[in-house]
Amino acid sequence: MLTDESLQDLENYFVFSLSPLLNTWFAALTVQAELLSDKTGEQPTIFFISREGQFLSRAFAAFCRTRRLSLRSRPLIASRTLLMKLVFAEASADLAERLTYRGSFAGFFSDRLSMTSDQLAGIGVTPAIALGDLTLPRDSAWLAHMLEKQAPGFRDFLKGRREAYCTYLRESGYFNGPRLIADVGYSGTIQKLLLRLTGLPSAGYYCIGTNALTDEQSAADGNRDALFARQGKFGDGNPLLDSTLIFEVLMSADYGQVDDIVPMASAPGYRFEFGAKSRSQHLFPLLSLGQDAVCREIERSGDIELRDLLSDDYKENVRVLLLALLGNRQLAPALVQQISQVDDRMGGEGFINPWTALPPLRRKRVVGDKA
């Protein structure tokens, strides 16, 4: 039953969990934008990616508004599933070597690339191949070979989708000047896939980063860093990293994961298709209450100097607060616990509760998932 008290508890949890973190991350993000501007001679556009980007772009606008900062930013619709699908034909062996999977050929394309059995049949995959066993990374070379020889329509299937997504990127200003990718975390997968798709390196700055975020960087990759960097990998016992999956609940938009982009003859020339909604997204009005409260709190925090937000002491206080709030389920109000569910289909686990299922489930997925 919803009461004024329970709704206030929900808003308070959002504010205490997110406002200090976003204030210090946004302050650091403005520094990264200034550094990129100095390096390129142009003001970058900050792209807040994924479903969390809808809320984060609003919160960042509030941060800039209360401090009278003039920075370009916008949300960008993207997901690992969609982008991996768009580039898979050109880099299947390399990408498959970085994934762990055990199941059928068709199951892989359904779970990881959100392709239906009809679509597989349409690109030439026979039922015998579709039902065959697939284990990654062991069979990555075989998978690439089968796509090349037994799925002749795969590249054509993706061509129109790649063009449609590049049209969306162009309309979003992605090709205009320097780009700064901003996201909650964790390994920079979407940033790396955008580079594969467009050939354009982008800088990236994240809240929380796994070791993979900053591993294997080159000048061509674009710089990647995080407010809390080098936090190991999910499931290895780092409480700060493991507990922050709850951010995917608190910051979510009201739609499911973007699974596909379909070329259309009518304007704007494409249509995004989204996957199933989690419980959190079905109950988005409750998330919206909390997110609005965070934006109001950020606007009220304009008197905190940027240098204070960037100090080591403030950052450490944020870390301690996050460990206390996110690591203890009992501190979360009942409403937050009831709506908490995240989509881990990319990891093969479906919808999971981030408090009860995170460490064992993420450990199984991340072993070879470096994409």
d(CA 92, CA 156): 15
pLDDT value at residue 339: 86
- For the stretch 125-156, pLDDT in tens is 999 999 999 999 999 999 999 999 889 999 99
Which tens digit of pLDDT belongs to each residue from 299-314? 999 999 999 999 999 9
What confidence tens digit (pLDDT) does each residue in 54-92 have?
999 999 999 999 999 999 999 999 999 999 999 999 889
Instruction: Read off the tokens for 333.
Output: 């109000």
The whole-angstrom separation of Cα 308 and Cα 296 is: 20
Contact (CB, 8 A) for 287 and 280: yes
pLDDT in tens, 223-269: 899 999 988 887 777 888 877 778 888 999 999 999 999 999 999 99
Q: How far lies 251's CA from each of 43, 333, 357, in Å?
A: 27, 16, 19
* pLDDT greater at residue 77 or residue 366: 77
Report the Cα 369 to chain-centroid distance in Å. 15
Map tokens 């739609």 to a residue: 255
CA distance 188 to 30: 19
Amino acid at 154: F
**Average pLDDT of 168-180?**
97
Q: Where would I find the beta strands (DSSP E) of the chain?
A: 45-49, 72-76, 101-104, 133-136, 179-183, 203-208, 224-228, 258-263, 270-274, 342-343, 351-352
163: amino acid identity, one letter = E
Residue 352 above 90 pLDDT? no
In the structure, what pLDDT confidence band is assigned to residue 2 with cuts at 50, 70 and 90?
Answer: confident
C-alpha 27/C-alpha 87 separation (Å) is 34
Percent of the chain with pLDDT over 90: 72
Tokens of 87: 């580039």
Six-digit token pair at 159? Answer: 């061509």
Q: CB count, 10 Å around CB of 363?
A: 15
Q: What is the pLDDT of residue 364?
A: 39
Query: What DSSP string describes 325-339?
Result: HHS-GGGS-HHHHHH
List Cβ neighbours of 75 (8 Å cut-off, separation of 6 or more): 47, 48, 49, 53, 54, 56, 57
Cα Rg, the chain, nearest whole Å? 21
Burial-class residue 130 by CB neighbours within 10 Å (0-12, 13-18, 19+).
middle
